[in-house]
Chain A
Amino acid sequence: MNQKPSLGKRLLAAPHLVWSALFIIAPLIMVVYYAFTDGNGSFTLSNITAIPDYADTFVLSIWLGLLATVISLIIAYPLAYFISQSKLPVQQTMIMLVMLPMWMNFLLRTYSWMTILEDNGIINTILTSVGLSSLRLINTRGAVVLGMVYDFLPYMILPIYSVMVKLDHSLIEACQDLGGNKWDVFSKVILPNSISGIVSGITMVFVPSVSTFYISQKLGGTSTQLIGDVIERQFMTANNYHLGAALSLVLMVLILVCMAIMNHFSDGEIETGRISA
């Protein structure tokens, strides 16, 4: 039976292969092509050498992306644990509530945060009506991070939840039988076993946060220019596809590096986790 996959099986995989080639590989090749050519189509490194001008923007994007990811993780982890420990009907309702905002368009959700955070927006109207002074909320970096957390939080909750819900309860009991206290149960059983969920959650929040442009434009005002804004402008206004592609390429490499560092850590965690458990 250990033959090559049958023709039928290979045919089943064909749609995905065609899809990947058309919509993942081909666009990537185009990005690389544009990044290393100029307007006349000849090879140049000038797009890449222009990147250091945007170092500040890259750093700010990564920093805000990190912040949003960490905050999402802090919110999502206990919530996912709580949901996974609830009764089944409660679980289903809670998960639906987590998904509910995703049924609305992402742009609309961000736009409504403008109404909430504005100087004469909902929060400040309430504050001033109870006699407090109004706060500067919109057009700050805090507002941008808030927008990122709000928009991408479900992508952190869902993978962590799906790992936790599959957690074998006998492991927890075994830990308790061996004299482990609550902290031991958490640090030696639950955490190591949910690492894979955390890693995919982090990826799914960090990557869109680093590359977003809409959130920073609507909530950040002039305070926050992210690398996504710069890239968007190259394509939409400046018509400089070459610089835009070079920036995208560098962003992809930076994200890959961040992911590689994180995967390195998570591998280590799992190993130590298993050894100590």
Chain B
Amino acid sequence: MKKFFSLITAIVLAFGALGTTVFATGTTEALDPESLRGTTLYVYNWGEYISDGSEGSLDVNKEFEDRYGIHVEYTNFTSNEDMYAKLISGGANYDVIIPSDYMIERLIKEGLLAKLNFDNIPNYRYIPEEYRDLYFDPNNEYSVPYTFGMVGLIYNTKMVSEAPDSWNAMWDEQYSGEILNFNNPRDAFGIAQFLLGLDINSENPDDWQAAYEKLSEEKPLVQSYVMDEIYNKMENGEAALAPYYAGDFLMMVDNNPDLAFVYPKEGTNVFVDSMCIPANAQNKEAAELYINFMLETDIATANANYISYGCPHTGVQSNPDYEWVGNEILYPESVDFKTDYFHNLSDETLSLMTSLWDDLMVEGGNNTGVYIALAVIVAAVIIIAVVMAVRKKRRANIDD
């Protein structure tokens, strides 16, 4: 009897064990945050692109560290091109990066991104339908949208004679020396292309040449080509006009109420920045945990409030704590101008664009004076050398 009982127990136990194994493989509750405790996660993001605890906001990275015990090593880049250069240089490994659409397209094409395991990112359910399966990631395997927005023209109402409505204002000579432009080729060329009515994704070299000539025409009027320096320059009234991302304008106007913003009538670039994991990430599970964390409604709201870009997150949009809900710059009701995404360009076009950009950066400035001055110096050096040689020889003769 006793034996029989133990046999039954054994069978039951065996089945029980079998049952749990079946159950465990059936669901993919694989990610255990505890197992990642003590590891380090490398996050590479745009500057001013996360709620960082300043001005009473939530310090998102610290919150993540406190909750999961994973150390976040957070660094910034200033443009997609910078990010790409760093990524392929192999000098550093990142686990989470947040590039823009066309760069994601390029990274996918070049096999530099890892496919995400969406089982580890259940909060993906908050991403609205219209921000899924975007052109750069049609099957939504590699990226999770973080922000979206458009480029517009920021101007200082005290420094312009009339409110601009066209990119043409940046070619207006009365603002000479008070105009800023992007210090990255894609965005800068984009403005010239919209103004000229060209396709921003054109593969025709003539189109790029035309855009280059347009920018070259503008260069004498440009004070500086900037990225993040734009905050200081526009907030301090150092410049009258600057194209930049809409969300950043909302930050700037907070510090300088004289600033205003317009979407130029010729049209503008629309972008989506998404969270991705590079193919060579060392801590992919923690990266997925981080992406999921970033999509929690509270965290996403803190970020959306802080960085003030458009937020593709249904939880945030219905959260009463969200400050920018219905903001007419981030969420314009009607868009009566052309908008277009940047697409990844062919290698030929990319190298044409970078070399035209290089030409644009180098050209200009009157160097005649410099040439004359240097020539005078070279002549002086030669004369002194000759005089010294002659003197030396004479002395040598005297010594003899």
Contact = CB atoms under 8 A, between A and B. Distances in A.
A225 interface: yes
B85 interface: yes
Contact of A265 (B185, B237, B374, B385): B385
B103 to A, nearest CB: 12
A261 B354 contact: no
B392 interface: yes
B358 A235 contact: no
A265 B388 CA distance: 9
B79 interface: yes
Contacts of A60: 365, 367, 370
B370 A119 contact: no
B225 interface: yes
B381 interface: yes
Given A230-B361, A268-B388, A237 B224 contact: no
A228 B84 CA distance: 20
A268 to B, nearest CB: 5
Nearest to A237: B81
A193 B370 CA distance: 33
Given A119-B238, A229-B361, A268-B388, A63 B374 contact: yes
A140 B377 CA distance: 22
A261 B358 contact: no
B90 interface: no
Nearest to A220: B224
A272 interface: yes
A109 interface: no
Find the residue from A54, A59, A223, A238 having the highest chain B CB count within 10 A. Answer: A238
B365 A223 contact: yes
A238 B358 contact: yes
A252 interface: no
Contacts of A237: 79, 81-82, 85, 184-185, 354, 357
Nearest to B81: A237
Interface residues of B, number: 42
Contacts of A53: 359, 362
Find the residue from A56, A62, A222, A268 having the highest chain B CB count within 10 A. Answer: A222
Interface in A200-259: 218, 221-225, 229-230, 233-240
Main SS of chain B's interface residues?
Answer: helix
B373 interface: yes
Given A225-B362, A268-B388, A66 B377 contact: yes
A138 B233 CA distance: 12
B76 interface: no
Interface in B37-51: none
Contact of A59 (B184, B359, B371): B371
B218 to A, nearest CB: 10
A222 B223 contact: yes
Contacts of B236: 118, 120
Contacts of A265: 384-385, 388
Contact of A275 (B222, B359, B395): B395
Contact of B219 (A54, A222, A230, A271): A222
Given A237-B354, A265-B385, A272 B374 contact: no
B12 interface: no
Contacts of B219: 222
B232 interface: yes
A271 B377 CA distance: 23
A56 B362 contact: yes
B384 A236 contact: no
A54 B377 contact: no
B88 interface: yes
Nearest to B359: A53
Nearest to B184: A237
B225 A222 contact: yes
Nearest to B86: A236
A114 interface: yes
Contacts of B223: 139, 221-222
B124 to A, nearest CB: 32
B56 interface: no
Contacts of A225: 361-362, 365
B370 A59 contact: yes
B364 interface: yes
Interface string A2-19: 000000000000000000
A239 B365 contact: no
Contacts of A56: 362, 365, 367
B109 interface: no
Contact of A63 (B358, B370, B384): B370
Contacts of A272: 388, 391-392
B364 A222 contact: yes
Interface string B72-88: 00000001011011001
Nearest to A239: B85
A264 interface: yes
A57 interface: yes
Interface in B57-84: 79, 81-82, 84
Contacts of A222: 219, 222-225, 364-365
B362 A59 contact: no
A221 B224 contact: yes
Per CB-CB distance, the 6 closest pairs between chain A and chain B, nearest first, are A221-B224, A238-B354, A237-B81, A63-B370, A222-B222, A268-B388
25 contacts: A53-B362, A54-B362, A56-B362, A59-B374, A63-B374, A66-B377, A118-B236, A138-B238, A222-B222, A222-B223, A222-B224, A222-B364, A230-B358, A230-B362, A233-B358, A235-B85, A237-B357, A238-B354, A238-B355, A239-B354, A240-B354, A264-B385, A265-B388, A268-B388, A275-B395
Given A222-B219, A222-B223, 8 more contacts: A53-B359, A59-B374, A60-B370, A120-B237, A218-B229, A238-B81, A239-B354, A275-B395
